[in-house]
A = this chain, B = another copy of it.
């Protein structure tokens, strides 16, 4: 079986090194090279045939512009973008520039492996955390690049339960844990536990983060 040739791009050591290890440890992949900037990238892509570009777009020096130029220069290139953010606007722009798949830098090895495989096959792979943010993007914004990507996959991502959603809503409305407990006929301890679990799942550590999550995911008006 032919190995998938992957070019890694980014100027963050942990990212490039980590990707190199992942690729070389696997029998499925083959490292087609690591590049630090746009010039090296174009050079690498024109000299060596590659199947997938795994690029850290959170690095300083990488932007959607560069991505667009590369996509133009190497048509049909499959791109798996890594980023730190999961804001809708940002994701929208990146996917709009022709990127096939989108992961967060915090995704784990299994997710990255799966994403590389799917991307090589031309399928979309989005991190579940990203999908959460993406759900509300008007479909048309993606249509331009949808034709060739009929399949969507998502990694585990964040799964907020119904009860937890309820808690988030009340927190966002300004209720204290005690008030929420009264409203839902729960112990304040339970509300607090839910709150802790939510914050843990979302990787935040205060009320402001909870409210912003609620707003981004339209849990509140």
Other-chain contact of A174, B89, B206, B221 (Cβ < 8 Å): B206
Contacts of A208 in B (CB 8 A): 171-175, 207, 210-211
A220 within 8 A of partner (CB): yes
A184 within 8 A of partner (CB): no
Tell me the complex Cα distance, A212–B175, Å: 13
A63 within 8 A of partner (CB): no
Copies of this protein in the assembly total 2
Q: Which of A191-218 contact B (CB under 8 A)?
A: 204-212, 215
> Which residue on chain B has the smallest CB distance to residue A204?
B174
A176 within 8 A of partner (CB): yes
Whole-angstrom distance from the CB of A108 to the nearest CB of chain B?
24
Tell me the complex Cα distance, A206–B208, Å: 10
Tell me the complex Cα distance, A87–B221, Å: 9
Of A175, A207, A210, most buried by chain B (CB within 10 Å of CB) is A207
Q: Which of A120-138 contact B (CB under 8 A)?
A: none
> Which residue on chain B has the smallest CB distance to residue A176?
B206
Other-chain contact of A205, B89, B174, B211 (Cβ < 8 Å): B174
A221 in contact with B89 (CB, 8 Å) = yes
Return the 9 tightest CB-CB contacts between A and B, nearest first: A211-B211, A174-B208, A207-B207, A174-B209, A215-B215, A208-B211, A174-B206, A172-B208, A207-B208
Which residues on A are within 8 Å of B, measured CB to CB?
87, 89, 171-176, 204-212, 215, 220-221
Q: A174-B206, A174-B209, A212-B220 are in contact. List 19 more A-B contacts (CB 8 A).
A: A87-B221, A89-B221, A172-B208, A172-B211, A172-B212, A173-B208, A174-B208, A174-B212, A175-B208, A176-B206, A206-B207, A207-B207, A207-B208, A207-B211, A208-B210, A208-B211, A211-B211, A212-B215, A215-B215
